[in-house]
């Protein structure tokens, strides 16, 4: 397995590094989806996780933010083992991890602005959230993010009136509204056409880069992974089989990740 440049150690230089040790996830007893994952991801840049469907890419991300419960192992982030947090500590840790979903996960009947402001729910009193009375600073920041993703003209439009690409832009902006220390993006382009997919990856890469927020993105499109990521992690069968820079990813590595070789002639 190739080593990626620029990694940091748990002891060291980057407080936002994510250290995953011996991570196992079983949905059914003795049938693990993740089979002892070990990764250290630095607190900067975009890391792409590639691999065939069913190999555990989404499960890996959902274990990190505890949308699913790890069976065993450690997930160290910001001085805590996320795998062992409960209650208030878990809620506070989740505030620091923004999530961009494959199916957008917006509240369809709410406006674009209201969906964006939901990214601040973990930071405002319950009564403010219930009455939708967010601080002016949050509202101003939301308008600035809408401008940054090219949606300033649709702030008051309902989410169910948007195209898929527009919805994903809202999802990215909402994640950044959390002011997170890490963003996880689970197949953010899988439902989009090629042109829109490039635009979404450009927006995610640019906004996170400007704010120095590390991103881990699961993605099927190898071409997009190589274009936008500083590091690629290739998974197959619940194992990591490649970990290194995009330009080090060879046809032999891709065959090890995906199996077969006929598809190599049809890559985007």
Question: Residues 31-42: pLDDT tens digits?
Answer: 999 999 999 998
pLDDT of 127 higher than 70: no
The pLDDT of residue 79 is 87
Task: Spell out the domain ranges in the chain.
Answer: 1-95+221-260
Give the whole-angstrom CA distance, residue 128 versus residue 136: 12
Mean pLDDT in residue range 112-125: 80
Homologous superfamily, domain 1-95+221-260: P-loop containing nucleotide triphosphate hydrolases (3.40.50.300)
Mean pLDDT over 9-25 rounds to 77
With a cut of 90, say whether residue 126 has pLDDT above it: no
Backbone angles phi, psi at 169, to 5 degrees: -60, -40
Model pLDDT, residue 122? 67
Judged against a pLDDT cut of 70, whether residue 261 lies above it is answered with: no
3 pLDDT band, cuts 50/70/90, is very low
Cα–Cα nearest to 82, from 92, 71, 93, 72 = 93
H helix or E strand, kind and range, residue 244:
strand 239-244
pLDDT tens by residue, 218-241: 999 999 999 999 999 999 999 999
The reported pTM is 0.88
The kind and range of the H/E element at 195 are: helix 194-210
Tokens (6 digits) for 267? 């890559």
């Amino acid at each position: 397995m190739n080593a990626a440049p620029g990694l940091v150690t748990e002891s060291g230089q980057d407080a936002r590094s994510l250290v995953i040790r011996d991570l196992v996830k079983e949905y059914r007893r003795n049938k693990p989806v993740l089979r002892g994952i070990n990764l250290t991801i630095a607190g900067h840049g975009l890391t792409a996780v590639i691999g065939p469907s069913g190999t555990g890419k989404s499960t890996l991300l959902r274990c990190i933010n505890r949308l699913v419960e790890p069976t065993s192992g450690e997930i160290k982030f910001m001085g805590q083992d996320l795998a062992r947090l409960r209650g208030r500590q878990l809620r506070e840790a989740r505030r620091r991890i923004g999530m961009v979903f494959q199916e957008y996960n917006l509240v369809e009947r709410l406006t674009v602005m209201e969906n964006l402001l939901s990214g601040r729910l973990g930071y405002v009193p319950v009564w403010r959230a219930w009455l939708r009375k967010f601080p002016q600073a949050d509202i101003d920041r939301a308008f600035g993010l809408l401008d940054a993703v090219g949606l300033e003209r649709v702030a008051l439009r309902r989410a169910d009136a948007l195209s898929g690409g527009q919805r994903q832009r809202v999802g990215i902006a909402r994640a950044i509204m959390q002011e997170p220390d890490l963003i996880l993006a689970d197949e953010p382009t899988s439902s989009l056409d090629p042109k829109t997919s490039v635009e979404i990856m450009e927006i995610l890469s640019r906004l996170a880069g400007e704010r120095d927020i590390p991103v881990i993105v699961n993605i099927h499109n190898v071409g997009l992974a190589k274009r936008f990521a500083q590091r690629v992690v290739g998974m197959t069968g619940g194992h990591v089989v490649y970990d290194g820079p995009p330009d080090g990813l060879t046809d032999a590595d891709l065959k090890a990740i995906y199996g077969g070789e006929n598809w190599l002639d049809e890559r985007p």
